[in-house]
Structure 1
Amino acid sequence: MIRCQGFVCGCGHSGTTLIATILASHPDVYLPFEETNVFFKWTPLALYRYSKLKRAAFRAGKSALLEKTPRHVRRVDRIRRLVPGAKFVMPVRDGRDSVASLTRRLGDASASLDRWISDNSLVLAEQGSADVLIYRYEDLVEDPEAIVSKICAFLALSFRPNLLDYHRNPQRWLTSDASPKHADLRNRQINQPIYDGRGRWKRELGEAQLKELTEGRGKPLMEAFGYI
């Protein structure tokens, strides 16, 4: 029986793959190592494809089904309607580091800034919802056991310290929309111990994006999540 159905979502490059990989190492968890985007599909097709994930979890003898598609943060209400009892885990990350990382991936600083603002505005709107857990990537780096334990409790999973040894059993995420170079880089990153990715913006972020985050459109979100 599937007791927990959880979704890891939020802005890309905020640690969604990292926490999904950690949780996937739990013996009770079934997680497909790909971004399904299933709830962007026509409703009958979405339900059919999601039911296939549930059957796969059941056949694997797992009691929790988790799915990670960052863009599902834009479909939270739809998921709530179609998956009663769904729970959402939403990491946030300092906008300066996220935008720097997104820009390196996408090659478009303006689009990266817009994405961070739009996706994290949706995350902030969910603050206080009983079925949503929001945490900061930086807090996971500082105290991984405390944050992972909190997430496990939220998902009704037993916390096991060896979850933090997830990298000892390397996984391969399927990234059909990414270049082979990016896919290899991401898989190397998530198959190592939790690393401190804070502060990359000091080397990589453009002045215009920095100003938008600290003085302009992104400032309310940066303040709300405690980054400035």
Structure 2
Amino acid sequence: MIRCKGFVCGCGHSGTTLIATILASHADVFLPFEETNVFFKWAPLALYRYSKLKRAAIGAGKSVLLEKTPRHIRRVDRIRRLVPGAKFVMPVRDGRDTVASLTRRLGDATESLDRWISDNTMVLAERGSTDVLIYRYEDLVDDPEATVEKICTFLGLSFDQSLLDYHRSPQRWFTLDAQPQHAALRNQQVNQPIYDGRGRWKTELGQQELTELTEGRGKSLMQAFGYL
């Protein structure tokens, strides 16, 4: 029986894959190592595909089903309607580092900035919701034990220090078919101990994006999450 249905979502490159990988090492958790995007589908198809995940979790003897698709931040209310009792784990990360990282991935600084603002506006709107836990990537780096324990408690999972050794059993998240270099890099990143990715914006972020985050459109979000 599935007793908890969890969803990890938020802005990409904010640590969604990292926390999903950590939680997937828990003995009670079933997690498909792919971004399903299932709740962007026609409702009957979404429910059918999600039911397949539930059957797979039950077949594996797991009691917690966890799914990670960052873009599901745009479908939170829909998931609530279709999956009663769903819980949402939403990491946030300093917009300067996130936009710098997304720009390396997407090659478009403006698109990266827009995505951080759009997605985190939706995250902030969920602050205070009882079915949502929002945490900062930087807090996970500073105190991984306390942060992971808090998330486990939210999902009804027992916490064990061994969860922080998730990297000793490497997982493959990203296929090598479409973008082999990116996939290889991302798999390497998520299968290593928690690393401190803070401050890279100082050498990688453009001045225009920095100004937008500290003085312009992104300023209120940066302040709300404690980055200014």
What do residues 56-95 of structure 1 show as CA deviations (whole Å, max 9, x unaligned)? 0000000000000000000000000000000000000000
1:206 counterpart residue number: 206
Runs of 4 or more, structure 1, over 2 Å off, are 174-178
2:44 counterpart residue number: 44
**Partner Cα distance (2:177, 2:134) in 1:** 27
Using the TM superposition, give the Cα deviation of residue 223 of structure 1 relative to its aligned residue in structure 2, in angstroms.
Answer: 0.1
Using the TM superposition, give the Cα deviation of residue 180 of structure 1 relative to its aligned residue in structure 2, in angstroms.
Answer: 1.0
Q: Cα 1:205–1:177, aligned 2, differ >3 Å: closer, same or farther?
A: farther
For the residue of structure 2 that corresponds to 1:90, the secondary structure is strand
Tell me, yes or no, if the aligned pair for 2:174 and 2:186 is still in contact at 8 Å.
no
Using the TM superposition, give the Cα deviation of residue 179 of structure 1 relative to its aligned residue in structure 2, in angstroms.
Answer: 1.0
**Partner Cα distance (2:175, 2:34) in 1:** 7
Structure 2 portions without partners, runs of 5+: none
For the residue of structure 2 that corresponds to 1:88, the secondary structure is strand
Amino acid at match of 2:26: H
1:4 counterpart residue number: 4
**Partner Cα distance (1:101, 1:67) in 2:** 23
**Partner Cα distance (2:112, 2:12) in 1:** 10
TM score, norm. by length of structure 1: 0.99
Q: How many residues align?
A: 228
Q: Quote the sequence identity (%).
A: 83
RMSD: 0.9
TM score, norm. by length of structure 2: 0.99
**Partner Cα distance (2:61, 2:178) in 1:** 31
- Spell out the pairing of 1:141-180 with structure 2 (5 A cutoff): 141-175=141-175, 179-180=179-180
**Partner Cα distance (2:160, 2:74) in 1:** 31
1:215 counterpart residue number: 215
1:187 counterpart residue number: 187
What do residues 150-181 of structure 1 show as CA deviations (whole Å, max 9, x unaligned)? 00000000001000000000000134895111
Tell me, yes or no, if the aligned pair for 1:28 and 1:62 is still in contact at 8 Å.
yes
Amino acid at match of 2:163: L
2:72 counterpart residue number: 72
**Partner Cα distance (1:82, 1:195) in 2:** 36
Tell me, yes or no, if the aligned pair for 2:8 and 2:89 is still in contact at 8 Å.
yes
Tell me, yes or no, if the aligned pair for 1:33 and 1:172 is still in contact at 8 Å.
yes
Tell me, yes or no, if the aligned pair for 1:34 and 1:175 is still in contact at 8 Å.
no
**Partner Cα distance (1:48, 1:160) in 2:** 34
Using the TM superposition, give the Cα deviation of residue 143 of structure 1 relative to its aligned residue in structure 2, in angstroms.
Answer: 0.1
Amino acid at match of 1:197: G
Structure 1 portions without partners, runs of 5+: none
Whether 2:111 is the aligned partner of 1:111: answer yes
Using the TM superposition, give the Cα deviation of residue 54 of structure 1 relative to its aligned residue in structure 2, in angstroms.
Answer: 0.1
Q: Cα 1:93–1:178, aligned 2, differ >3 Å: closer, same or farther?
A: farther
Whether 2:115 is the aligned partner of 1:88: answer no
Q: Cα 1:53–1:185, aligned 2, differ >3 Å: closer, same or farther?
A: same
Q: Cα 1:72–1:204, aligned 2, differ >3 Å: closer, same or farther?
A: same
Amino acid at match of 1:104: R
